Structure formats: structure tokens, C-alpha cells
Amino acid sequence: MGFLMSKSMDANFQKQQEFMLHNARLQMERQILMQNQMRERQMAMQIAWSREFLNYFGPFSGVATLGLTVGAIKGKKPFLLAPVFPLGFILAYQMDAAYGTLIYRMRGEAESIMTSEHDRLDLPHGTPTFESIEKARRAKISLSTLLDK
């Protein structure tokens, strides 16, 4: 009788472990999907910001370049053309970020860093562990109780 009950409990325990593993896997997959959607939204916002910035900076750069060129020619002062070069670089960068291949090049470089220079990505004191987080939490709790007294 005890053997049959033990066998039944073991089977139930095994089913419960499988169920918990399945739920943990589903939760992990959902969390990964959610984090990826948040990353995609943040990247879309960054691209949209670059495009919106370009809507303002492009005309400003064009008018400034035109005005500085006219002023340099009419006043015979070539030093007025000096700001045109940095404005041109900024405009080119923003155009590349908004409509060009900057993101693809950045992704390629990031993949290269992750592959060949992984040691640069290490966090100070290593990756946080449960123990280190608990230690910090307990220290904060004990500090707050001391301050309350």
C-alpha cells in the first residue's frame, strides 16, 4: 500500500516539476519577447528622433551655408566659410542615422566587439548575483532601520 502511494506521489511530483518547468519556460519566452519589443520601440524612437531633428537641422544648415557663402563672396571674407564644414559633417551624420546605413554598421561593429573583444563588456565586480543583490538589499534595510531610530 505504501509503495503504491509513494509511486503515485512520485508521479505527481514529476508532473508538477514538468509543469513548473513548462511555466518557467513560457515566462522566460514572454519576457524575452517583451524586452525585444521594448528594444525595437526604443530603436524606432531613436530613428524617428534623427529624422525629426533632420527636418529642422537640414533647412537651418542650408540657410546658414547659403548665407555664409553669400557673405564670404560679397564681403571677400573667406573665413566666413569655416562653419560650413562642421555643419556639413553634422548634417551628413544625421542623414546617415535617419535614412542611411549607420545602424547596420553599428550593429556589425557591436557584433564584432562581442565576438573578438568580449572582455571589454565585463561589468565592474562581475555580473550581479542573487547573493550580491540580497546583501545590498539587507544593508539598505538595516541602514533604514538605523535611520528610523
Q: Where are the domains of the chain?
A: 2-148
The angle, 0 to 180 degrees and rounded to 10, between the axes of the packed helices 84-99 and 102-116 is 80
Say how far apart CA 34 and CA 42 lie, in whole Å: 12
- The three three-digit cell numbers of residue 73, written as one number: 563672396
Residue among 33, 90, 100, 36 nearest 65 (CA): 90
Q: What is the pLDDT of residues 1-57, one digit of tens each?
A: 556 667 777 888 889 999 999 999 999 999 999 999 999 999 999 999 999 999 999
What is the value of pTM for the model shown? 0.69
Say how far apart CA 104 and CA 43 lie, in whole Å: 12
